[in-house]
Structure 1
Amino acid sequence: MVGLTQGAGWEIGVSGTVRHPVEQVWELLVSPRGLRLWLGVTELGTSRGDRYESADGTVGEVRSFRPHDRMRITWRPAGWDHDSTVQVALSSRGEGRTVLRFHQERLADEAERVRQRDHWRAVLARIVDALDQDH
């Protein structure tokens, strides 16, 4: 079945290429404005174990944080009975272009996978809009 792995259960990945350099994309993602767009918080720690909670009750903690490259966090919305893991990764495609990827694993089932795919697609669109508005 598409999206079902043996090691990480159900997972989803959403990516897009933006016409902005890695440094600019990263700076938006970790800024208060950017964090609100994709995580619903205005502050996120950078050390393993740093916790966060969004206004809608989503909780989690930082697992890894590598500036201008990737971050991994746990992600558990209010009402869920399990944690998932979200990775946000950037890679340069030259000429000021960046691939931005959101990958989420340890989802409960196929229906949750579909909902999260739609969620991360909407998040990606908001990030692209914010980047394009800035420049």
Structure 2
Amino acid sequence: MTKPVGLTKNNTWQYGIRRTVPMPFHQVWDFLFSKKGLSLWARHPNTQFSTYIDRSHIRTKWQLPGWSQPVILQLRVLAGNQKTTIAIHVEKMLHQQQREEARKYWETTLLYIQNALKTQVE
């Protein structure tokens, strides 16, 4: 039998998404951790990050409204050649429905972030 996408060997669920923007790394990182940037993505995470590596990544607890317990969120920013990738990874979800809710949330949130970054350049 085929294991469903996102189900881990520990029987928890995970989800990851990446989006690349044609902007320098430092500009993307600075925006994500600015007041405006945080207002776009840090509405539900605990901003007392369990891990904060400047110019690299954060890890924290994250919970959508209606969820019974928090899960783990990792946000990583990766430098490329004239572009930057924003990578989101959510783990320790209890079931497939949470994974789907996380997928919808982060797809929409990353669109907001991409649009906000685009307006900074114009």
Distance (Å, rounded) in 2 between the aligned partners of 1:64 and 1:9: 21
Could you tell me which runs of 5 or more consecutive residues in structure 1 were left unpaired when the two chains were aligned: 41-57
Length, aligned pairs only: 117
Partner residue, 2:100: 114
Q: Secondary structure at the match of 2:66?
A: coil
Q: What TM-score do the two structures reach when normalised by structure 2?
A: 0.89
Match 1:102 to one of 68, 78, 88:
88
Structure 1 residue 25: Cα displacement: 0.7
Q: Secondary structure at the match of 1:5?
A: coil
Partner residue, 1:54: none
Alignment map for 1:1-135 (pairs within 5 Å): 1-7=4-10, 9-40=12-43, 58=44, 60=46, 61-95=48-82, 97-135=83-121
RMSD of aligned residue pairs (Cα, Å): 1.5
Could you tell me which runs of 5 or more consecutive residues in structure 2 were left unpaired when the two chains were aligned: none
Structure 1 residue 82: Cα displacement: 1.5
Q: What TM-score do the two structures reach when normalised by structure 1?
A: 0.80
Distance (Å, rounded) in 2 between the aligned partners of 1:81 and 1:118: 18
Distance (Å, rounded) in 1 between the aligned partners of 2:64 and 2:102: 11
Q: Give the number of the structure whose residues are more often strand, by fraction.
A: 1
